[in-house]
Amino acid sequence: MSQSTSDVFDDVQINSETISSTQFEDMTVVEEYDVNKYSYVTILKSDLNNEYLYRVCEPELTDFEELIRSEVASKLVDALKYHDFLQIDQDLLPNVIRQKAYNILSTYVVTNNRIVDSVRSLFGRDSVTMLGETEIENILYYIVRDFSYYGKLTPLMEDPNIEDISCNASNIPLFIYHSEYQDLMTNVVYDGNELDQFVRTLAQYAEKHISISDPLLEGALPDGSRLQATLSDEVTGDGSNFTIRQFSDTPFTPVDLIKTNTFSLEQMAYLWLAIENNKSLIFSGGTASGKTTSMNAISLFIPPRSKTITIEDTREISLRHNNWVKSITRDSFGSENVGEINMYTLLESALRQRPEYLIVGEIRGEEAITLFQAMSTGHTTYSTMHADSVSSAIYRLENAPINVPRQMMSSLDIMCVQTQTHIGNTRVRRNKVLAEIGNVDAENNTLQTKNIFEWTAESDSFKQYSDSDLLKQIQSQRAWSDTELQWQLDARKELLEYLVTNDITDYETASDLIRAFILDIEGIYELIITDQLDDETSNFTNTKELITQSRENNATEKPDEEDTNSIYNTMFSSIRKALGQDTKLEYNTLSYEDPLQNPLIPDPDKAKLDPVSSNNDIRSEQLTDKNQSTAVSETDSDQTTQDNNSTEIDTKILLELLRQGVKRSKNSK
């Protein structure tokens, strides 16, 4: 299911006239774009009422080709009955379907004409010709679309501009929410029986059960989209329906949230400092206000090595984090509800795993009390909930079915309230309020809250209304002066502003730079204010390419000493720049009997590196001379950890180098 239809076919002729109808008269084409190689979308605007329409255009089939397609599909069903799909990689399934369908076409149409003969009488002998390559490709497109993807819904599922797909009932056009044109009616329609069958198909894709006795379904499709479906008219007046919430393949970064003005630069720097210092946070807001998107984005501020556990009922959170445990709920089996694993159970289990950061997709019930108990015992937690203001969020948390005691509420540090609203005719998402949660007032038993940032609709801007008690708390915990606290905020603002100004929204690049900053704030800050970060980012990219190229070369030929030294010098010079001129990088030749006869970047499984204590991370490695032992004592490691020069600039590169026997040393002067 994860493979796009564009990866399966070569060339398919597309004819937009196949879906023309009277409803498209008096409409102007506003935009056209491809969703894959074989179908495209036209955005139309009515000249009469200024409404927009979303029209899907797919390859045209003649009546004769439709009958051929039907016959091939029928024979394909018979052929697949005896195929073991458990042995097939799901990414390869579309190709398997296509090949089997092509074999049927080749055998029965091209060679023996058996299918052609069975339908020839319906058209008249003179009007039927042998199928050409284009006609065969058109038929194969529909076969694979229907057997491996989502049938007529496939173009909508592959359109990255669609956020929601809604089918309200049979014989009614589907509606979508488009990222640019908002709510649009489409030309895709299901009839009654067709819709019932498709809802059952969606349930199979989500690996869920749906039936007349159990007609409601919530789940996730293979591509991560969230599914809600209803079967028949047991609980809905108009029969089956479904809604699919789609998510971007690439998660949003903090840079994206700033560029879209969902958050201000100052808010994001504030959240970054709070997250690094283990402050808990809840995002609240209405449906589709961007709560999960924002929570996922700010997770990039979690320190790279911190143990993180996520708990969800539908997988939506995506972290670029190695020390990450992904937990997801499980429905019960059978009519006796045996084997259910809910969020409360997963949360209790997570607390036994010593997480540093705990992320819960959404709190709705009894799991909230356990979540706040985790906050009270020092666990940093993040979650989302439905509420349109700080006061309504607190009311929901304190009352049934959540019932969090008021005294426990003070364990929460920050609440962000998000909203989906309009700026002119454009629908946007904004962080309406960023508030700090204080203690319970002993006199009147009220929970104290303080709005730090608020969004102003008139100017579409954010204003800081109050000084932050939370930042003062962090200042006290870290023993920072006022100047140091301000510098910590300014340094984070500098990096975020650099990323925004240079349009660095690529998820991997942005997350790498944020991680590098967390590991060496002073080093990266110095590169920013001296306008050297552009060069060093390029150097990192070149170094990664050198590592890859060298490894590929080593697989086929052994480099001579001159080539090795050339790669060695180029690779180390770029990293030495970033680490500082007083840092020297050395290749650990003691790991090999004859270093000059070994490739620069050997197979790490074959490298005889000296052991390093498991209690020490890379930041705490002993800075040694070339002829000293690489073993690290715990005492020396603790001293080295305090050295500002012992931090990494790019964790990927240094991890790679350390695996290959590269040791970092500080010149003794």
Assess contact for 223 and 238: CB atoms under 8 A. no
Q: Read out DSSP for 529-576?
A: HTT-HHHHHHHHHHHHHHHHHHHHHHHH----HHHHHHHHHHHHHHHH
Within this chain, do residues 223 and 145 fall inside the same structural domain, yes or no?
no
Please report the pLDDT score of residue 84 as a whole number.
66
Within this chain, do residues 180 and 283 fall inside the same structural domain, yes or no?
no
Residue 354, burial from CB neighbour count under 10 angstroms (0-12, 13-18, 19+) = exposed
Please report the pLDDT score of residue 658 as a whole number.
41
How far is Cα 146 from Cα 160, in angstroms, rounded to an integer?
A: 20
Which residue has tokens 């540090």? 413
Assess whether pLDDT exceeds 70 at residue 58: yes
- Long-range Cβ pairs for the range 206-213 (8 Å, 24+): 208/331
| Most distant CA pair in the chain, distance | 96
Average pLDDT over residues 148-168: 95
Least confident segment among 49-58, 70-79, 607-616? 607-616
Boundary (domain end) residue, out of 153, 188, 207: 153
Average pLDDT over residues 495-514: 92
Percentages of the chain per state (helix, strand, coil), in multiples of 5: 45, 20, 40
Least confident segment among 86-100, 177-191, 475-489, 548-562? 548-562
In a domain, 506, yes or no: no
Contacts of 43 (CB under 8 A, 6+ apart): 29, 30, 31, 32, 52, 53, 54, 55, 178, 181, 184
User: What percent of the chain has a predicted confidence (pLDDT) above 90?
Assistant: 49
Please report the pLDDT score of residue 113 as a whole number.
53
Q: What is the pLDDT confidence band of residue 47, given thresholds at 50, 70 and 90?
A: confident
Average pLDDT over residues 156-166: 96
Please report the pLDDT score of residue 459 as a whole number.
95
Q: What is the mean pLDDT of the chain?
A: 78
Please report the pLDDT score of residue 539 as a whole number.
56
Highest averaged pLDDT of the listed ranges 401-415, 554-568, 598-612: 401-415
Q: Read out DSSP for 386-426?
A: E-SSHHHHHHHHHSTTT---HHHHTT--EEEEEEEEEETTE
In a domain, 123, yes or no: yes
Q: What is the pLDDT confidence band of residue 391, given thresholds at 50, 70 and 90?
A: very high
Within this chain, do residues 587 and 601 fall inside the same structural domain, yes or no?
yes
In a domain, 3, yes or no: no
How far is Cα 589 from Cα 555, in angstroms, rounded to an integer?
A: 21
Please report the pLDDT score of residue 21 as a whole number.
45
Cis-peptide, bond into residue 611, ω within 30° of zero? no
CA 68 to chain centre: 41
Highest averaged pLDDT of the listed ranges 468-477, 595-604, 657-666: 468-477
Q: What is the pLDDT confidence band of residue 617, given thresholds at 50, 70 and 90?
A: very low
Please report the pLDDT score of residue 278 as a whole number.
96
Please report the pLDDT score of residue 25 as a whole number.
62
How far is Cα 527 from Cα 31, in angstroms, rounded to an integer?
A: 43
User: What percent of the chain has a predicted confidence (pLDDT) above 70?
Assistant: 71
Neighbours of 391 (CB within 10 A): 13
Average pLDDT over residues 61-74: 89
How far is Cα 8 from Cα 96, in angstroms, rounded to an integer?
A: 10
Q: What is the pLDDT confidence band of residue 330, given thresholds at 50, 70 and 90?
A: confident
Q: Name the token pair of 434.
A: 């960023």
In a domain, 98, yes or no: yes
Cα angle for residues 358, 364, 370 (degrees, 5° grid):
45
Number of domains, the chain: 4
How far is Cα 116 from Cα 400, in angstroms, rounded to an integer?
A: 66
Please report the pLDDT score of residue 79 as a whole number.
82
Within this chain, do residues 198 and 136 fall inside the same structural domain, yes or no?
no
Q: What is the pLDDT confidence band of residue 195, given thresholds at 50, 70 and 90?
A: very high
Q: Which domain holds residue 596?
A: 548-666
How far is Cα 136 from Cα 12, in angstroms, rounded to an integer?
A: 9
Boundary (domain end) residue, out of 249, 266, 287: 249
Q: What single DSSP character describes residue 355? A: -
Return the higher-pLDDT residue of 633 and 374.
Answer: 374
How far is Cα 573 from Cα 575, in angstroms, rounded to an integer?
A: 6
pLDDT in tens, 250-291: 889 999 999 999 999 999 999 999 999 999 999 999 988 999
Please report the pLDDT score of residue 615 as a whole number.
36
Please report the pLDDT score of residue 363 as a whole number.
92
Please report the pLDDT score of residue 563 as a whole number.
44
How far is Cα 357 from Cα 361, in angstroms, rounded to an integer?
A: 13
In a domain, 195, yes or no: yes
Which residue has tokens 């449906």? 287
Residue 350, burial from CB neighbour count under 10 angstroms (0-12, 13-18, 19+) = buried
How far is Cα 405 from Cα 408, in angstroms, rounded to an integer?
A: 5
Average pLDDT over residues 294-323: 93
Return the higher-pLDDT residue of 630 and 348.
Answer: 348
Strand segments, DSSP code E, in 308-460 are 308-312, 324-328, 357-360, 380-386, 414-423, 426-440, 447-456
In terms of pTM, does the model score above 0.95?
no
Assess whether pLDDT exceeds 80 at residue 299: yes
Within this chain, do residues 437 and 583 fall inside the same structural domain, yes or no?
no
In a domain, 84, yes or no: yes
Within this chain, do residues 329 and 467 fall inside the same structural domain, yes or no?
yes
Within this chain, do residues 68 and 147 fall inside the same structural domain, yes or no?
yes
3-state DSSP call for residue 319? coil
Boundary (domain end) residue, out of 231, 249, 267: 249
Per-position b or e across 174-184, b if 16+ CB within 10 A of its CB:
bbbbbeebeeb
Q: Name the token pair of 366.
A: 């009894």
Within this chain, do residues 244 and 276 fall inside the same structural domain, yes or no?
no
pLDDT in tens, 360-371: 999 988 889 989
Assess whether pLDDT exceeds 60 at residue 41: yes
In a domain, 49, yes or no: no
Assess whether pLDDT exceeds 60 at residue 597: no
How far is Cα 531 from Cα 525, in angstroms, rounded to an integer?
A: 10
Q: What is the pLDDT confidence band of residue 647, given thresholds at 50, 70 and 90?
A: very low
Which residue in 572, 571, 557, 655 sits closest to 609, CA to CA? 655
In a domain, 354, yes or no: yes
